[in-house]
Structures are given as structure tokens and as C-alpha cells.
Chains A and B, each alone.
Chain A
Amino acid sequence: MNRIKTLAAAAAAMLLLAGCASPALRGSGDLGVVIERANGSVQVVDNSHLTPLSRVQGLGDLSHASLVYSRDARYVYVFGRDGGISKVDILAGKLVARVLQAGNSIGGAISSDGRIVAAQNYSPGGVKLFDAETLAPLADIPALDDNGQPSKVVGLADLPGNRFAFSLFEAGEIWLLDAANPRAPVVTKYRNVGRQPYDGLASGDGRYYIAGLYGEDGLALLDNWHPDAGVRRILPGYGQGQDKQPVYKMPHLRGWSLAGDYAFLPAIGHNTVLVADSRSWQEAARVPVYGQPVFVMAEPSGRRVWVNFAFPHNDTVQVIDVPTMQVIKTLKPGRAILHMEFTARGDAVWLSSRDDDKLVVIDTQSFATVAELPAANPSGIFFSWRAGRMGM
């Protein structure tokens, strides 16, 4: 009798322990993180079951936040406007480390070996490198031009071989950072790349780095297979003969702009998506759209390109059919659509509607809304497939 009691107690204890110790095992391949910009929080979501999993708070000012994934896709590094880097365990739903590394930051990147986190800062302008494990500082690269004038850093992207590229807004320069030795990185500077680069992207293979220019019509292209050839201008003078309209929101560039044979790029100050042939870098088409593009994102298949727009046209999303280079769908999914993110293979796209406090999940084949999820002032949506992609 006693023995049975003891056994029962042991069994109960084991059950209790199992229950407490950890939740059921799960993968992170279908998870995502959504920035909730008003609250300084992020939501972890499951894009297979279209459900929120957890909310992590205390991440500071997330008014212009972005994040990158650790290569095991378990952690995200969230870069906040206040200069904070927050390391969040998305499986546990916990903030595990946080450093305040600058006064004003805009984003970051992670090295090809996954060991270095780089933050791009507005103030003081520059790039700082951190140990991805501990967030301990490794190096500080101030963005000072030849006259010692500071610049805001934009368009930081990772490249193969633990290198990074970024652009200097005021100075009009592109810098290549070789962080093979992360405590003593080596900088290569490209000067006079064009006026006021506002963002930059690296292609998914890490070969090309492209900076968009605010201060002139055109983009600056660096071919990393031929870094000695320097930076050249592409699509120069795309706005010629048309009045440039005021820009109420800067576009964003990332590797999603390149798909198949083309690069799809926002025309600053114009209601136009520019299409360049990604071998010759000559203009291939211009697609008139509803407003000034902010994100121009190719579906993972490259077959269609989704575009959202700057204020006051940010209630609309359009879809471009690539073979015909025509807009084939106009959607009004919610107020203030700030961001879009495809699932890894593009069966669905998630949109954030800031002013309707919701996420909208749309089937990319039928354009039907599959689900809406509540979120507080959502902006960026970042799915875990980014963990294994360059330039993301």
C-alpha cells in the first residue's frame, strides 16, 4: 500500500515537473515578430496557425524599429529608435539582454557567421559592432567625412565574409566594413556616390549593394565581386520632365527588391515603381502606381510585386504582375499599412495596419483576407526565414 502511495506521489511529481519545466517542443521556422510601436513591445506570432504566441515588453522607443534574427532563428535583435538593442528569445517569449548603445538608432544587421551584431546609428552617426551572444561592444566606427563632419548612417546590410555595407546620408558616401577581425574592422570608403542616400540594400547573394538617393534621381550600385571598380550610378535622371512631389515618407530598401531578372525600386517623389534589368542595370520598365512607393517587395516566387505607399495614400496596397508589368490588384486592407511580410514560400502576406490596430493576413493566390489579428499600432513584421538569408 505504502509502495503504491510512493509510486503515485513520484508519478505526480514527475508530471508536475514536466508541466512546469518547459512547454512542448516546437520549431521556430514559422514564427514571426511584429513591432508594436506605440507600446515598445513586440508580438511573437505563428504564421502556420495564424495565432499570437506571446508579447514581450520593455523594449524602449520602437517608433522606427527593425530587427534581425540569430542564425538559429531563436533570438531576434530589435533595434529601437532610442539606440537600444534588445535580444529577445522568441521561443520563451522573453527579453534576455538589452543595451543602450547610441542616442538615436535606425536599424542593424547580423554578420554572415552570426557572431556579430551591427547597429546603424543616426546620433552619434556611425556603426557599432557587438558580440551577438552577450551584446558586449566590439568596435565603434564613427561616420565622419574627410572634414570631420558627422553623417547619419542608413542602409546597413550584411555581405558575405563578415562584411557590411552602409551609406552616409549627409556625406553621400558608401562604406564597406570588413569585420573579419570584429575588434579592428577595416573600412573602405566610396565617396561622391550621389546626394543624400536614404537607404540601401544588398542582393540575396550578397553581390550587389544599392543605395537609393533622396537628393537626386538615381541609385548608387556597388558590385562586391568587383569592389575596385567603384560605385556607379544606375537609373540616373529617372524623374526628368516630371515634377518631383513632396515626400511624406522615405521608402525602404531591402533584398526583396531583386527577383528573377529584375530589380524593383521606388521612384522618390513619384507615383512610380522603377524596374531595372539586374544584369545590365538599364531601365526595363516604369509602372505607374497609386502613390509614392514605400516598400516594393517581390513575392518569393518573383512572379508578383507588392507595393505600399506613403502618406496620404497609405490605406492602399497594389500588386504588380511581373510578366506584363501592370498593376493587377488594388487592395484597401486597413488604415496606415506600414509594412508587408511574405511567408517563407509566399503563400500568404501579412500586412500591418497601424491605425486599425491589426494585422491582416492575405492569401497571395486569391487575394482573400484569411485572418485579422489584433496588434497595438503595428509596424514591422519579420518572419524567421530571414535568419538564413543574406541582406535581411
Chain B
Amino acid sequence: MKPPPASPSRLTLKCLLLLACSALFLYEAAHADPLLTVPQPARAAELRHLLRQDCGACHGLTLQGGLGSPLTARALADKPADSLVATLLDGRPGSAMPPWRPFISEDEARWLIRQLQQGEAP
């Protein structure tokens, strides 16, 4: 999603429109319509497994926390989803939280965070 290169005003307008649309689409995908970013069932099962077992290694199988902080819906209620997604993907320097970007995509991270914030995590 790099901004378009400099171009005549009509083109810029078109680009902006396109950008706005796609941003809206992405936003919708991430926030409004869960169907659009729900991973395929097999992948969703893998992600749930990862969350429960490997995140659970530090945050607890029931996500009540451990060496890592709790990941219950209540604990995450007033934290912005974007920063949680960033922490999940890139880790948190100074803490023991590692980056998970090598193993999950940005969409998948958004889906996982939404699952957690809505208390729908396994």
C-alpha cells in the first residue's frame, strides 16, 4: 500500500479514490465483516492451535497470563487493536515477547487479535 507516484491531478484523484476505497475495503475486512478475513478452516485451526499452545506457553493455555500478560477479552478491552497487532507481529522490545511475523500474516494477526478481544479465542 505505497502511495501512488506523483501524477496529473485527475489521475491523483482517481488514485486517491481507489486508495480510499481499498482502505475502506481493508477496514471493512478487518473490522466490520468477519467473513472477509477469516482464514480457511484448516489454517484457522492451525492458528488457534498456535495461540493456545505456543502463545499459551507464556500467556497460559487459558490466556490468564504467566510470564506474559493476560490475553483475556477483559485484559485487552481498552487496548487499541492496531497496537496489539503490531506487538503480535513485531514483538515488544525490552520484554520477552518475540515477533511472530515469520509465522503469521498481517491479516491473520488481525483475526487473532479480534478473536482475543471478542473473547472468542479457544
Interface residues of A (CB under 8 A from B): 37-38, 61, 63-64, 81-82, 103-104, 106, 122-123, 152, 154, 169, 196, 198, 214, 246-250, 311-312, 336, 354-355
Contact = CB atoms under 8 A, between A and B. Distances in A.
A124 to B, nearest CB: 12
B57 A81 contact: no
24 contacts: A37-B61, A61-B62, A63-B56, A63-B61, A63-B62, A64-B57, A81-B60, A81-B64, A122-B66, A169-B67, A198-B96, A214-B96, A246-B91, A246-B98, A247-B98, A248-B98, A249-B54, A249-B57, A250-B57, A250-B67, A311-B57, A312-B103, A354-B53, A355-B53
A311 B54 contact: yes
Given A38-B61, A169-B67, 7 more contacts: A63-B62, A64-B66, A81-B62, A82-B64, A196-B96, A246-B98, A246-B99
Interface of B: 49, 53-54, 56-58, 60-62, 64-67, 91, 96, 98-99, 103
Interface class of chain B by DSSP: loop
A123 B65 contact: yes
A355 B45 CA distance: 13
B90 to A, nearest CB: 10
Q: Which of A37, A246, A355 has the most CB of B within 10 A?
A: A246
Contacts of A123: 65
A247 B93 CA distance: 12
The 6 closest A-B pairs by CB, nearest first: A63-B61, A246-B98, A311-B54, A63-B60, A249-B57, A81-B60
Contact of A122 (B53, B56, B65): B65
B87 to A, nearest CB: 13
